[in-house]
Structure 1
Amino acid sequence: MRSPFLLVTLAVMLGCILDALVKYVTLETALLTMTAWRFIFGSMIAGTVFKLSRQPLPSLRAWRFHMMRAAIQTVAVLSFFWALTQLGLAEATVLGFTGALMMPWVAKVILGEKVAPLAILAGLLGFAGAAIAVSAAPDGAPADGNRVLGSLAALLAALTYAVAVVLLRLRTRSDTTEALALFNNTLPAGIFTVALGASAIIGQPLAPLLLPASALPYVIALGFVGFSIWWFMSLAYRDAEAQHLAPFEYLALPMSAGLGYVFFSEVPGWQLYIGALIIIGACLAVVFQGYFSKTKRPVSDILT
């Protein structure tokens, strides 16, 4: 039996790898060019997987729904990628955590899910742990970055990401994982390709359309990693409520801090480790709550 908690953890880990790759690639590649090609390669992978599954094409109704969600997804992606160019990796990650804090309430509004008290507490504890972890700013943030605009972009990304993920759950019961992966890659690829073409016409013709040869392997990797993230997310949200999975977003903090240290010389203080312990504890609380609610056993059973 697959565990939605393990699946979402894998998705979060891959998300941290993707963020680090984006931060590195944008040092030598235009952000819009990199983002468009990341989704183009991702759509190639998703299209191949969908074709091999031999499923019929999704209905027009499904395409219309996912086009709306893709528009929200592109705002989340582009705003967070831009925030990565303005802030340190750990800083952008922590601001992204506000999306997990919003997710149970977005799920309540859109899906009508009841917000469990433990889910609220775990979310608040995780957010408090994130705040403690970044109370000492790490070294390595871009020296010429606009911290105010970068922070606002990360918050916008968090909100739109929360909406996009909760909307994803509306279709996890009716769309296959292969179809969801197809939507999550091909539709943003179309939106970003149009934007890239428009920028080429308005700006310097052809230059924004091209990827430097040195960046090509990394952008192909971005396509594969991005496809895998939404594949795991689709499976996870098929089997668990959004409020139960939301606190696992906080695992990105220790993961991104490690990548920031290795690749960008970001050195967080001791506060990071205290915050990470709180975050992991909140995630474990959600795991136990989900287990006991499904088995109908009282939580006190764990003590006997």
Structure 2
Amino acid sequence: MRTPLVTVPQNTAAGILFVLAGMTAISINDVLIKQLSGGYPLHQMVFIRSAIGIIFSLMLVQMEGGFGILRTRTPGLHLMRGLLVVISNLTYFAALAVIPLAEATALFFVAPLMITLLSIPLLGEKVGPLRMAAVTVGFGGVVLMMRPWESSTEVSRFILFLPVLSALTYALNQIMTRKLGATTRASAMAVYIQGIFIVVSLGFYAVAGDGRFAEGVENGSVQFLLRAWVWPEGNDRWLFMGLGLNSAIIGFALAQAYRLADAAVVAPFEYIGLPLAIFWGWLIWGDIPAPVVWAGSALILGSGLFVFIRERMQNRRPPLPPVQGRQ
């Protein structure tokens, strides 16, 4: 017997407010991760924030209908979606430990362009020449930020590629989110994600929690992934608490935004993430993007916005929720 689809009432204003709240929480989450990346391993941060976040998420489950909404007939799909989110987070935050916040964020914003490309083989979507041209220009922005004309850069191009890989796995995740969101509450999806994060981070701890694989490693991203666990002290405890609260807010707010409003209306508001990243990078670390980063960012964001505008001009609803949502 097939699970009946749930009709979700449209509420554009609420959807926009939820996406703005989610993006603000994401920007704060990125700041906290980067701030803590010099002294703690990523899998420890993931475990602590998810253990805290799942408590808040379970409270939201109670508000949305009780623990019964956690039952699902598609556990395999939710597991696959969760693993995609884990990979997306690990690759993005590994890069964030090394490169400026604004640069990592700009490269990640190639996600909606990847969704456009993936919609062709996975959803049978037809993409016209104008949208394909926009995708090409956007990927040109990625190449520009990779600086292929330079024989060497301050960080390896592999590190610069990690946010792009994160965007790819996120795009695949969003394809599944749109389908699963018709039968699953936003709070339930947040709980599934938090649970998978906890299991994966404990697996990292069992294998590498003593830090033995980080000995002698000079790459900052690899150190961030494999460093030994250290119990948080002083103000760091509050930062970890903030990570947990943000994790719950992000998972719920973005899932709720795309359940309540048309993706074509909500998605452009996610681009507030880049100016927020630039602001935090300047305020906290004194980072000012180089001209090539500004240019590449403009190409990526301009292309993504064109895709959404083109969809709306043709009175078509984009089939997927487009951009961020790093839980």
Q: TM-score range by the shorter chain?
A: 0.7 to 0.9
Q: Assess, with a 3 A threshold, how the Cα gap between structure 1 residues 112 and 185 changes in structure 2: closer, same or farther.
A: farther
Offset from partner CA, 1:124-163 (integer Å, 9 cap, x none): 666667778x699xxxxxxx97433312322221211111
Q: Assess, with a 3 A threshold, how the Cα gap between structure 1 residues 112 and 213 changes in structure 2: closer, same or farther.
A: farther
Instruction: Give the TM-score normalised by structure 1.
Output: 0.76
Tell me, in whole angstroms, the C-alpha distance in 2 between the residues paired with 1:239 and 1:126: 28
What SS does the aligned partner of 2:105 have?
helix
Of 76, 80, 84 in structure 1, the residue corresponding to residue 92 of structure 2 is 80
User: Following TM superposition, by how much is the alpha carbon of 1:267 offset from its aligned partner in structure 2, in angstroms?
Assistant: 1.3
Check the 8 A contact 2:146/2:160 in 1, yes or no. Answer: no
Q: Assess, with a 3 A threshold, how the Cα gap between structure 1 residues 9 and 120 changes in structure 2: closer, same or farther.
A: farther
2:19 maps to amino acid: V
Q: Does 1:261 align with 2:282?
A: yes
Which ranges of structure 1 fall in alignment gaps of 5 or more residues? 137-143, 296-304
Q: Assess, with a 3 A threshold, how the Cα gap between structure 1 residues 249 and 267 changes in structure 2: closer, same or farther.
A: same
Hey, what does 1:101 align to over in structure 2?
113
Q: Does 1:64 align with 2:76?
A: yes
Of 193, 201, 209 in structure 1, the residue corresponding to residue 202 of structure 2 is 193
Q: Assess, with a 3 A threshold, how the Cα gap between structure 1 residues 203 and 214 changes in structure 2: closer, same or farther.
A: farther
User: Following TM superposition, by how much is the alpha carbon of 1:58 offset from its aligned partner in structure 2, in angstroms?
Assistant: 3.0
Q: Assess, with a 3 A threshold, how the Cα gap between structure 1 residues 77 and 236 changes in structure 2: closer, same or farther.
A: same
2:315 maps to amino acid: S
Hey, what does 1:283 align to over in structure 2?
305
Q: Percent identity?
A: 24
Deviates more, 1:222-231 or 1:193-202: 193-202
Please list, as runs of the form range in 1=range in 2, the aligned pairs for 1:143-154 lying within 5 A after superposition: 146-154=155-163
2:87 maps to amino acid: V
Of 79, 85, 89 in structure 1, the residue corresponding to residue 101 of structure 2 is 89
Tell me, in whole angstroms, the C-alpha distance in 2 between the residues paired with 1:253 and 1:131: 18
Tell me, in whole angstroms, the C-alpha distance in 2 between the residues paired with 1:267 and 1:202: 33
Please list, as runs of the form range in 1=range in 2, the aligned pairs for 1:104-115 lying within 5 A after superposition: 104-115=116-127
Check the 8 A contact 1:103/1:243 in 2, yes or no. Answer: no
Tell me, in whole angstroms, the C-alpha distance in 1 between the residues paired with 2:211 and 2:280: 37
Check the 8 A contact 1:79/1:154 in 2, yes or no. Answer: yes
Check the 8 A contact 1:253/1:276 in 2, yes or no. Answer: no
Tell me, in whole angstroms, the C-alpha distance in 2 between the residues paired with 1:29 and 1:111: 41
Check the 8 A contact 2:146/2:157 in 1, yes or no. Answer: no
Tell me, in whole angstroms, the C-alpha distance in 1 between the residues paired with 2:16 and 2:200: 31
Q: Assess, with a 3 A threshold, how the Cα gap between structure 1 residues 9 and 64 changes in structure 2: closer, same or farther.
A: same
Offset from partner CA, 1:156-187 (integer Å, 9 cap, x none): 21211111122111111110112112122222
1:66 maps to amino acid: H
What SS does the aligned partner of 1:208 have?
coil
User: Following TM superposition, by how much is the alpha carbon of 1:201 offset from its aligned partner in structure 2, in angstroms?
Assistant: 6.2
User: Following TM superposition, by how much is the alpha carbon of 1:6 offset from its aligned partner in structure 2, in angstroms?
Assistant: 5.1
Offset from partner CA, 1:220-247 (integer Å, 9 cap, x none): 2112222222222212333567677666
- Could you say which structure has the higher helix fraction? 1
Q: Does 1:30 align with 2:41?
A: yes
Hey, what does 1:238 align to over in structure 2?
259
User: Following TM superposition, by how much is the alpha carbon of 1:48 offset from its aligned partner in structure 2, in angstroms?
Assistant: 2.0
Hey, what does 1:220 align to over in structure 2?
241
What SS does the aligned partner of 2:97 have?
helix
How many residue pairs get aligned? The number is 286
Tell me, in whole angstroms, the C-alpha distance in 1 between the residues paired with 2:123 and 2:89: 23
User: Following TM superposition, by how much is the alpha carbon of 1:121 offset from its aligned partner in structure 2, in angstroms?
Assistant: 5.9
Tell me, in whole angstroms, the C-alpha distance in 2 between the residues paired with 1:113 and 1:236: 23
Of 192, 210, 214 in structure 1, the residue corresponding to residue 231 of structure 2 is 210
CA RMSD of aligned residues (A): 3.7
Which ranges of structure 2 fall in alignment gaps of 5 or more residues? 1-10, 148-152, 214-227, 318-327
Q: Assess, with a 3 A threshold, how the Cα gap between structure 1 residues 60 and 239 changes in structure 2: closer, same or farther.
A: closer
What SS does the aligned partner of 1:268 have?
coil
Tell me, in whole angstroms, the C-alpha distance in 2 between the residues paired with 1:249 and 1:124: 21
What SS does the aligned partner of 2:74 have?
helix
Instruction: Give the TM-score normalised by structure 2.
Output: 0.72
Check the 8 A contact 2:110/2:138 in 1, yes or no. Answer: no
Q: Does 1:184 align with 2:193?
A: yes
Q: Assess, with a 3 A threshold, how the Cα gap between structure 1 residues 158 and 173 changes in structure 2: closer, same or farther.
A: same
Q: Assess, with a 3 A threshold, how the Cα gap between structure 1 residues 163 and 277 changes in structure 2: closer, same or farther.
A: closer
